[in-house]
Amino acid sequence: MAFLLAIDQGTTSCRAMVVGEGGTIISVGQREHTQIFPRPGWVEHDANEIWHHVRLAIGQALSQADVNYRDITAVGITNQRETTVVWDKTTGKPICNAIVWQDTRTQAICDELAADGGTKRFAKLTGLPLATYFSAPKLRWILDHIPGARARAEAGELAFGTTDSWVLWNLTGGVNGGVHATDVTNASRTMLLDLHTLTFSDELCEAFAIPPQLLPEVRPSLSTFGYGRAGGLLSGVPITGILGDQQAATFGQGCFLPGEAKNTYGTGSFVVVNTGDSPTFSDSLLTTVCYQKAGEPAIYALEGSIAVTGSLIQWLRDNLGFFAAAADVEALAASVDDNGGVVIVPAFSGLFAPHWRPDARGAILGLTRYVTKAHLARAALESTCYQTRDVITEVQTHLAAIGAPPLRELRADGGMVENSLLMQFQADMLNLEVVVGAEQESTALGAAFAAGLACGFYSSYDEIRALWREGARFHPHMHASERERLYRLWQKAVHRSCNWVDADVR
């Protein structure tokens, strides 16, 4: 028997999965890593802990499947995007904690750059607005604030990468010849990649004051990146696929044609719609690389990134103690018929797509003495669906502009899709069918499928598409007048959450 191994380095955990020929998950290893919050708005990870947990997860997955590296044909890596790691090439040690994609400490840097040309200053090159979300401002902050970092970077002593690069470098040998590379999807989230040439831009590096020698080599997503280090758990096994997590989920859902879309419901939620082999630009959505196979043109996508969805449920659990496990939110929310008049805007890190309002902060509106924690739980779930509608409305507009057919269904994956109350409300709010795959681990499967297609384990995109199977389908049944009434209240709430951050309130 031959197998693939997927490494999924996510925002809250590191996982490894052994995948069989038919796309069946044979085993899973998983370890959560620490979420570090040094100050309001700051979110960090310990990159050493991440690498340690990746190794543990790989060992668990191989052990549970009763296989070893000789049974693994190829490895695919997928990862939390934008999270920024800088390490010493000689010692292999990070020079500080990784700055996570949710972190907002770089707003002043973004404001400084936006003073000349606005937040869209680099959008025609990068497809991205100036925002704390992306890697370049985080890297600039590290160079400006970690003692000696800039001088060491200019001397060529340091390496930068998103967590795919960090895992790849360590997996292929680290200080003993580790490969310093990334793929086009992750590179397209740094705000340093020229979408037209698929290379890092000297103009952008100069604008962000980033020495180019820090940057990894950019390669197609489906290509041979290197081989597991000799004597390691994956000794000699080729790493043939790397995709950012949302692109991996799109690949795993088989969205290979223009106009096909998915939404991953996780810590945040991310709508990605395939737009074909040329970039389509938007004022409210992100233009990003969807994937690229070596020797073929890149495929692009529009993305609506929503910062807080599943993490709002975690907040109800951990900060307010509403329930013991995140899965318990469904029963609590279902114990009431509606939200009791409450709307929650979870702008913990500002609002991402399509609003792009860093000045927004979380708000709970419509509170009365009638409201219970059950109503708040229901409002929390509903906020995910309202935010998704905000994005899908923009997606439909852009599909029409490029001559693609409108969305008729939305494929859904991620941990939150197990919540039927949430999925039904999503179908009602979108007035579209929401389809959940039979296998919900689309992100890790996408990494495995990409690696498998690159190495010949799979023969074609059609073969991969055939592996996807429908699990559940949710049909809209809410009356149009009620749908629009609820959505109008959401829009009012969003408006009231904005303009909160100013010189005195961060």
**What sign does the CA torsion over 163, 164, 165, 166 have?**
positive
- 332, 377 contact by CB (below 8 A): yes
Give the model's pLDDT for residue 232: 86
Residue-wise burial string across 306-336, b where 16 or more C-beta atoms lie within 10 A, e elsewhere: bbbbbbbbebbbeeeebbeebeebbebbeeb
Give the model's pLDDT for residue 506: 58
Q: Return the amino acid letter for 75.
A: V
Beta bridge partners of 242: 77
Phi, psi (degrees; rounded to nearest 5) at 463: -65, -40
Question: Rounded CA gap, 407 and 489, in Å?
Answer: 25
User: Strand 409-413 vs strand 363-365: parallel, antiparallel, or unpaired?
Assistant: unpaired
Q: Return the amino acid letter for 458.
A: Y
Give the model's pLDDT for residue 305: 86
The position carrying tokens 């074609």 is 460
Task: Give residue 431's region: left, alpha or beta (phi > 0; psi -120 to 50).
Answer: left
Give the model's pLDDT for residue 503: 63
Give the model's pLDDT for residue 505: 54
- pTM recorded for the entire structure: 0.86
**Residue stretches of the chain with pLDDT short of 50:** none
- DSSP letter for 350, please: B
Tens digits of per-residue pLDDT, 342-359? 999 999 988 988 998 888
Q: Which residues, including other chains, have CB under 8 Å from residue 117's CB and lie 6 or more apart?
A: none
